[in-house]
Structure 1
């Protein structure tokens, strides 16, 4: 029997790649993407719902899925107000987790960040850590947390700093060995592929994936 997937964050670097992969995966007979704007996607298995944090409860009854993929996130440049930033990166993913769990979802796959820690002095890392902690408390059968470092890939908008960082990491990646491997940059498509693959394992418990784990998922 084919499964249903619901994806949040389909307009982002990882989410965009993941959407294409889920639609190509015969395991899914239905792929629901929740976005704030229409996507130019045509596929017999594709369902698009328009919502955000403020309106997510209006489509709650339509969010019935086996696997939930959460790639939500913004940047400080896009969202300089820290309260609004926290809403996008913490409150929205948590609301998604709680809502879909009530609807019977079994697996939740979350994109977080390297260094996530609820006790960190850094706002971003503390926010990501609190998001992981609070979603863990929702108690999915399987919670899979992906902690990539710098993401590489073709972005919709040009980011000068990240373009520069990509070039730097191309040089230093081979120098990061042992436990430092987890800080290597990684293609967004690789993270998406790992999320898609892990969802098919139906493993119970909480799992965290770093660079090595993501690269080695088959």
Structure 2
């Protein structure tokens, strides 16, 4: 049976890097991406499924394969409404997990964030933590959770604030060592490469990677 991968969030910084890897490498013979609108990408093993993320159950029968990679996420700037933010960062990833698990998908790979904590008083960190906890309860034999710090890389959209923060981190990164290493900025391409590499392993269980561990992978 051909190895099939599913990506949700393939237009984002990590997701686009991951898509490039999956199409370039030979481990996956089929790649399905869930998109709001088609991407300008063509490849013999790529299928683009245009979906309404508020009706994910309607596409349940297509959520089959070896692994699903969830790179969904938004920002406070793009999504100031907290209810909508929660839907994108929590509800969609959880529903995808539930549907894929019912279909026998073996692995789930979730992009979370450094500091994710369901008990946090910070809304955005709390959402990430709740998403992690709820997906853990779904019951995947293999669940990989990645907690990158500030992501670097070429974005299609220019974010002035992030350019400033990225410049600051070039100064701060060398000062972060020991227990603070996980807060160092990390290229999105490194996160994507780690996700691909881990998906080829046959280990079962729960695996959580902070930024420093992702770099080691």
1:186 and 1:211 in contact (8 A); partners too? yes
Aligned positions of 1:185-196 closer than 5 A:
185-196=185-196
Q: Structure 2 length as normaliser, TM-score?
A: 0.98
Report the CA distance between 1:6 and its aligned residue.
Answer: 0.3
- Three-state SS of the structure 2 residue aligned to 1:28 is coil
1:117 and 1:128 in contact (8 A); partners too? yes
**Partner in structure 2 of residue 26 of structure 1:** 26
Q: Structure 1 length as normaliser, TM-score?
A: 0.97
| Cα offsets for 1:55-80 (capped at 9, x unmatched) | 21221111111101000001111111
1:136 and 1:143 in contact (8 A); partners too? yes
**Which deviates further from its counterpart, 105-114 or 46-55?**
46-55
| Structure 1 gap ranges (5+) | none
Distance 2:34 2:129 in 1: 24
| Structure 2 gap ranges (5+) | none
1:2 and 1:26 in contact (8 A); partners too? no
Distance 1:58 1:141 in 2: 25
Report the CA distance between 1:53 and its aligned residue.
Answer: 2.3
Distance 1:121 1:214 in 2: 26
Query: Is 1:197 matched up with 2:197?
Result: yes
- Give the number of equivalent residue pairs: 217
**Partner in structure 2 of residue 78 of structure 1:** 78
2:114 and 2:211 in contact (8 A); partners too? no
Distance 2:202 2:130 in 1: 25
Distance 2:54 2:185 in 1: 34
Distance 1:125 1:68 in 2: 23
Runs (4+) of structure 1 exceeding 2 A deviation are: none
2:13 and 2:154 in contact (8 A); partners too? yes
**Which deviates further from its counterpart, 64-73 or 53-62?**
53-62
Report the CA distance between 1:135 and its aligned residue.
Answer: 0.2
- Three-state SS of the structure 1 residue aligned to 2:140 is coil
Distance 1:117 1:52 in 2: 29
